[in-house]
Amino acid sequence: MELLSVLIENLIPNNFYLNEDKIKSVRQAYENNNQKVLPPVTVAVIGEEYLLIDGHSRAFVAFENGEKDIIAEVYPIEEIPGPTKLYIYLHNKAKELNLTSIDKLKNRILNSEKHKVLWV
């Protein structure tokens, strides 16, 4: 694992919906100028592409706030903690659905209940 600054526009989400409550919480951190205390996002490298594993709300709000980069824990896909085959499947599905960057989730923000039903 490497801790790197990654271009937000290069992150391909592996979550196809955002949770409205999480977005509100991260926006609040930005409003209070506390975004620097947020943990890094988690990214897997597949070939030359960056798959966003964890931190979709943080990446989305950073993008909303005009940030170009985000600090990420970057792993080769073979070393990422979790179900590697599922992550590869979601990576391919995201590209199939044209969800190839975090900004494509702007119309996919759901309340917690809908998020739970459609995603969790």
Structural domains in the chain, CATH included, are: 2-118 (3.90.1530.10)
Please, which residues have CB within 8 angstroms of residue 56's CB and are 6 or more apart in sequence? 13, 15, 18, 41, 102, 105
Q: Give the model confidence (pLDDT) of 52-111 as tens digits.
A: 999 999 999 999 999 999 999 999 999 998 899 999 999 999 999 999 999 999 999 999
Helix (H) or strand (E) holding 53: strand 49-54
Given this model, what pLDDT does residue 118 score?
A: 87
Predicted model pTM: 0.95
**Tally of CB atoms within 10 A around 73:** 20
- Which structure tokens are listed for 21? 């409550």
